[in-house]
Amino acid sequence: MGIWLGLDVGAVRTGLAESDPLHSMAFPVGCHRTTEIIAHLTRTYPIQNLAGIVIGLPKDLQGRETEGSSHARELAEKIQALWSDVSIHWVDERYTSKIAAQAAHQAGAKARVKKDKGMLDAAAASLILDSFLTQKNRS
């Protein structure tokens, strides 16, 4: 069965989240340089332990893809070339970084945490994955 991974892909950093084995919850697990994320994934996640990968797709307010979408699509192509049997799913990621920052603020996080872009990217990846899992579990 395996776990699901969630990715919030950026030009510089990629936030990473994992599901629990029952696919009911998403947890932020870190952030890596986008140029190094493939190496991290191959070192950390054996293909047989993955149910699939969910990638946030940046869109503008009108729902059109943005420049950031190309970073996500490039990474998806590399992942698919590496792990052709792993299913990749897309989730509209509008506002996930903003929601993650607001959640940190509302939780009373220190200013240092609220400015830690990597931590916010991992939280955004968790929101992306959680959105997918919620939809999947409703079906």
Number of independent structural domains in the chain: 1
Model pLDDT, residue 120: 79
Model pLDDT, residue 97: 55
Q: Cα(100)–Cα(98) distance, rounded to whole angstroms?
A: 5
* Average pLDDT of the segment spanning 103-128: 65
Lowest-pLDDT range of 51-55, 107-111, 128-132: 107-111
**Cβ atoms of 127 and 101 closer than 8 Å:** no
pLDDT digits (tens, 9 = 90+) for 82-100: 899 999 999 987 655 555 4
**Residue 100: how many other CB atoms lie within 10 Å:** 23
The predicted model scores a pTM of 0.85
For 70-94, b where at least 16 C-beta lie within 10 A, e where not — what string?
ebbeebbeebeeebeebebbebebb
Residue 44 structural domain:
3-138
CATH number for the domain harbouring residue 42: 3.30.420.140
Which two structure tokens, joined as six digits, stand for 118? 């990597």
pLDDT digits (tens, 9 = 90+) for 34-50: 999 999 999 999 999 99
